Amino acid sequence: MSGEEKPKTTISVIKADIGSLAGHHVVHPDTMAAAARVLAEAKSKGILVDYYVTNVGDDLQLIMTHRKGVDSPEVHEVAWRAFQEAAKVAKELGLYAAGQDLLSDAFSGNVRGLGPAVAEMEIVERPSEPIVIFMADKTEPGAFNLPLFRIFADPFNTAGLVIDPKLHDGFKFEIYDVMEGKYVIMNAPEEMYDILALIGTPGRFVIRRIYRKKDDEIAAVVAVERLNLIAGRYVGKDDPVAIVRAQSGFPALGEILEAFAFPHLVAGWMRGSHFGPLMPVPQRYAKCTRFDGPPRLVALGFQVKNGKLIGPSDLFDDPAFDETRRLAQVIADYMRRHGPFMPHRLGPEEMEYTTLPQVLEKLKDRFVEARLYEVKGPKVKTELL
């Protein structure tokens, strides 16, 4: 049977913050159980092939496989109902910010634009199909820019780019402008410097998809929804998810995880308004308590076989990442000592969805024109402008 004739498997990871126990730090198990019941029903009806329900911090994560393709209204409706049922339980329990990411009461055929974040890819399964599901809390989609660049374009991280003939041709990066709603596809390594010129501004330019250059096979996908841009106000950071394929024509699992051994600074943390280190943690540490953080990242490894999810393996549950977590703690201490000052606090362009505009509005009549002076001549006299 040729590759074109094989059935395609779609992997969908859809998440939402539907309420948390005692603040913004962890999902209540009863809400996860409510969501799981909806997904179990969908599996029994043949809508889903398989599913796995988990959480990272206060985000409920739905990992699903099916044959419906990307952006399937049927699958997205299942996810929407799961979040609604979970939010209903959250409200009954009086959980904090119940239903926070559900920005509408009505489902319109797709959860995109309604609050939840979505990462999906449709693939023809290889004989062995290992994937990694990354799930972050207290940060934004651009948090994946640096590690994804290292995984798919940096030979100092990914040795396969140099020594593996299947990777040597490089990858294509689809970069999305979250402000303009446009994207551009760029090639690595040829356009490496131009790629960096864009993705070095992660609050605006976000890596959305990565393809293997030689055959356009999808390698990775990231949820790029920006909640504040959708809602027009601060409603929590976006807490993105990503799917990355591993091995046999893609970077090895160890090369993928190696990119997260450096806890780089990302936007988010407390009230979505601070820079802090992205800390890779095992599932048991996936709760954000210190200043609502620091930002956390969980990686779950699965094998996908005939649409079934085999696993997961909790990939950061490894002492090899203990030093990364220790460094993240040191960075967190350093950044916290800045208090409300930049560079710990985000710049004004990111603060426009917080209370900063309200403060400026309140003070607008108290601002007066400054008396500016200009330096004149060699004797450094000043003249009032």
Catalytic option among 52, 176, 211, 234: 234
Cα 48 from Cα 68, distance rounded (Å): 8
Give how far the C-alpha of residue 318 lies from the chain's centroid of Cα atoms, to the nearest Å. 22
CB 140 within 8 A of CB 109: no
Catalytic option among 138, 237, 239, 353: 237
Residue 327: CB atoms within 10 Å: 15
Catalytic option among 17, 59, 154, 238: 17
Strand-pair category, 130-137 with 296-305: antiparallel
Identity at 222, one-letter amino acid code: V
Cα 251 from Cα 245, distance rounded (Å): 8
Query: Is 3 buried (19+), middle (13-18) or exposed (0-12) by CB count in 10 A?
Result: exposed
Tokens 């952006």 belong to which residue? 71
Question: Is 17 annotated in the active site?
Answer: yes
Question: Is 91 annotated in the active site?
Answer: no
Nearest to 139 by CA among 24, 284, 258: 24
Cα 183 from Cα 209, distance rounded (Å): 10
Question: Is 234 annotated in the active site?
Answer: yes
Cα 123 from Cα 52, distance rounded (Å): 19
- Which residue numbers are catalytic? 17, 234, 237
